[in-house]
Amino acid sequence: MTETNTMPTIALVDDDRNILTSVSIALEAEGYKVETYTDGASALDGLLARPPQLAIFDIKMPRMDGMELLRRLRQKSDIPVIFLTSKDEEIDELFGLKMGADDFITKPFSQRLLVERVRAVLRRASSREAVAATGGSAPKPGAAQLARSLERGQLVMDQERHTCTWKGEPVTLTVTEFLILHSLAQRPGVVKSRDALMDAAYDEQVYVDDRTIDSHIKRLRKKFKMVDTDFDMIETLYGVGYRFREAA
């Protein structure tokens, strides 16, 4: 008997009971089943015993923090993971992504944004599973454009595997960063307004301001400069938007 109509289960791990309550309400309102844990140690046992379709971890927690929880989880499971963090330090994000996190959301965050990121990560996980089930065959036509590898000079992006390389070196990106960069790189030289980039990275029901896009662009540049200090392919046109430079 199949369970195609069953909504995914989301595991939520946070020692802040207010966040557990508010996020649970938001996710359950969308039809998801939510299982909550107040610390990493108890969460690890539950995640392995009853694997959800996606897990959301706070980083700062007693007994076992989110990073250690992810490290131990990845030894036995590839459940998609989104981190909630109150810190805005690049090293934490890079470390977490390299360990296998799928996305980061910085506190404070809107419930709409969280729900949209959950949807995006679940879509990507389902796409990966579909490709694996068919032995790596091509995706359905409707997803063909995004699923193909995108190559722009030294930049290579694979939407299906969510991988990005620059000059052959991997660059770890969140879901949002990947979607923004993919939108820019699809048409080098063409200016994309902040509104256009919001449309590419967020559901139409999610409202973010210009500074959110600017922050993502700043973080994208930092990540590429960690691989190549001369990286300058993302240009700012003040008052207009951003564009991916055309190859010389």
Q: What is the pLDDT along the chain (248 residues), one digit of tens a residue?
A: 334 457 899 999 999 999 999 999 999 999 999 999 999 999 999 999 999 999 999 988 888 899 999 999 988 888 899 998 876 655 566 677 777 788 888 888 888 888 888 988 888 777 666 555 555 444 443 333 444 689 999 999 988 777 899 999 999 887 788 889 999 999 999 999 988 888 887 655 455 555 778 888 988 999 999 999 999 999 999 989 999 998 76
Q: What local confidence, expressed as pLDDT, does residue 229 receive? A: 94
Of 105, 131, 138, which Cα lies nearest the Cα of 119?
Answer: 105
User: Tell me, what's the pLDDT at 88?
Assistant: 60
Using alpha carbons, list the distances in angstroms from residue 187 to 116, 142, 190, 195. Answer: 25, 20, 6, 16
Every domain of the chain with CATH number 1.10.10.10 lies at 144-244
Report the pLDDT value the prediction gives residue 44, as an integer from 0 to 100. Answer: 94
With H, G, I as helix, E, B as strand and everything else as coil, classify residue 54. strand
Which H/E stretch holds residue 45? helix 40-49
Q: What is the pLDDT of residue 86?
A: 75
The pLDDT of residue 209 is 57
Please tell me the class of the 144-244 domain: mainly alpha
Q: Residue 89: its pLDDT value, please? A: 58
Q: What are the residue ranges of CATH 3.40.50.2300 in the chain?
A: 9-131
pLDDT at 203: 57
* Spatial contact of 70 and 77, defined as CB atoms under 8 Å apart: no
Count other Cβ atoms within 10 Å, centred on residue 2. Answer: 5
Phi, psi of 246 (to 5 degrees): -75, 145
The radius of gyration of the chain from alpha carbons, rounded to an integer in Å, stands at 18
Q: State the pLDDT at residue 237.
A: 92
Measured distance CA(45)–CA(63) in Å, rounded: 13
What pLDDT is attached to residue 141?
Answer: 36
Greatest CA separation found in the chain?
A: 57
Q: Which fold has domain 9-131?
A: Rossmann fold (3.40.50)
